Amino acid sequence: MKILVVDDDPRLREVVTIALHRAGFTTITAADGQAALTHAAREAPDLVVLDIGLPEMDGLEVCRRLRQKSDLPILFLTARDDEIDRILGLELGADDYVTKPFSPRELVARIRAILKRSTGAAGADRPLCHGAITLDRGRHACLVQGAPVDLTATEMAILATLMRAPERVFPRPALTDAIWGAGSPVSDRTLDSHLRNLRRKLAEAGAPEAIRSLHGVGLGMGTA
């Protein structure tokens, strides 16, 4: 798979590309936001590793423009104290983030997890139906009342987890483990950001009650 690495620090780009090559990935690099958009359009990468603090056009704007045209998986690189930027990045549709300084092994693991979610466990998932919602992870397709809804890889993974067991209520830790893996450092805010985006998209498509919350218990499928 091909990964687009976007960072204005050449040393960081080198560290990331070496780690990805060792993990079996092909890489493309860009040093600024405009180059990132150009490469994303021309090279069709499978995922973008995107620094937020880019010159001229920052990573948040790059993410916003990419999301206008595609559901390409995006992993943000952020400074450790940039919590507002991390939350905003997730609101814009990023799939995950890694804070600097970071472990290259952790970065590779996060990338593999996102790609696994985006391919629906190697495309083996059967299509799922719940009310007006049809989800086919093998084709990365979501339909509400027959109309397509653009979901990110993480939003699709959350919805698929809930739709596989529509009668179950998932405690938040169980849902987080199912999406990001047991022991993942993903915070409640990260899950909340993805859920908020997912609910908004389903509501706009005509399924505002598709995901229900039971206070103090967890999350499950509602009326769709």
How much is the pLDDT for 188?
80
Cis preceding linkage at 101, omega within 30: yes
Average pLDDT over residues 177-192: 79
How much is the pLDDT for 120?
55
Q: Could you please state the CATH topology (level 3) that the domain comprising 121-221 is classified under.
A: Arc Repressor Mutant, subunit A (1.10.10)
| Domain assignments of the chain as residue spans, ordered by start | 2-118, 121-221
How much is the pLDDT for 151?
92
**pLDDT tens, position by position, 58-105:** 999 999 999 888 888 999 998 866 778 878 888 888 888 898 889 999
In angstroms, the CA 52 to CA 6 distance is 9
In angstroms, the CA 13 to CA 201 distance is 34
Please state which CATH class domain 2-118 belongs to.
Answer: alpha beta
